[in-house]
Amino acid sequence: MKKFTFFELIFAILGPSRDDAVSTIPKPISVDLTVMHWQIFPNDIDKEKFGEYILNPEMQKFTTEDFERIVKEEKFKIIEIKEYIGKKYSDVVEGIIKKYSSDYYIPGIEFWRWNLENYNKAPANFKDSNDYLFLGSLIRDGEGHWDIIGLTEGEGEFGLNLFWFGSENTWGETDRVVLIQR
């Protein structure tokens, strides 16, 4: 039986079929989050680009050991932003990046993955009924939509959550942002 990589498994979950997902894993797009045009993502829908994903270049230097230290030393921050409830994800993300990126790293798929794979070492804060969003990465799902990745705890493990960046989707009461101290 073939052993699948982490990304092959993720894209199998996201894709229209497991075979399609495993054969279409693209290279990541590395983009400075402070210069991204967040307003284009809700309308940028293309099924042919399934699996595209964006990484925050600042997060590429972090290792497993770094994430363990960050959690142990509580160098992460969780933000509940009530004033954004009901606002479009594109507006929320743009506002968070502008407000927090000079003092915090904006983690994405790297820290999200570490938490998925290390449930017992993950912050206790993540183990409630809220949705923890990792804004440093976007991923294109099988329908061609851009999604924010997130974690939600359930029955002793984290579930993969995707929050469609669609124009009608809005920030919810249980949405939280994960940041890492600089």
Looking at residue 1, its pLDDT comes to: 43
* pLDDT for position 62: 96
Q: 95, 84 in Cβ contact below 8 A?
A: yes
pLDDT reported for residue 14: 65
pLDDT value, residue 123: 95
> What predicted TM-score, i.e. pTM, was given to this entire model?
0.88
- Amino acid type, 102: S
Q: Average pLDDT for consecutive 10-residue bins of the chain (182 residues)? A: 57 58 70 94 90 92 96 96 92 95 96 92 93 94 89 85 83 96 96
Residues 6+ apart with CB under 8 A from 52: 26, 29, 139, 140
| CB-CB contact of 135 with 105 (8 Å) | no
Q: State the burial class of residue 139 (Cβ atoms within 10 Å of its Cβ: 0-12, 13-18, 19+).
A: buried
Q: How far apart are CA 182 and CA 108, in angstroms?
A: 15
